Structure 1
């Protein structure tokens, strides 16, 4: 089973743990979406509430109220270990 490891502390990051991007944006770690294999570092999904107002949600049909990017682990200073 793969684990996400914080590069600075060496501690495991678990789903639900808060994380920060290299741009100091605050997110919550959701899951490992792609394992690290071969030359790939893998990918993780991080989440946070969207920044749209409630009124915007009536116009923005594509927004589900959550920002949920799939990123490289290095974006949150982490690595995937098998």
Structure 2
């Protein structure tokens, strides 16, 4: 089973990165298009925060290009 994990961190120059919220779901449950990801606190309590994302799932059958794919992590 493949899982997709979303996490939100508080990044600043003076302290370590603090995880603020998270959400995890099976890849088979993801739907394409614009979606709100409802985030949970570290103790799994509900928060009033969401990530607004545009999900596009593609099937790449190319074996030669498998090492060229990566996830670009950008801090906001």
Tell me whether the two structures share a fold, i.e. TM-score over 0.5.
no
Please, what TM-score do these two structures have when normalized by structure 1? 0.30
Higher helix share: 1
Q: Which has the larger radius of gyration?
A: 2
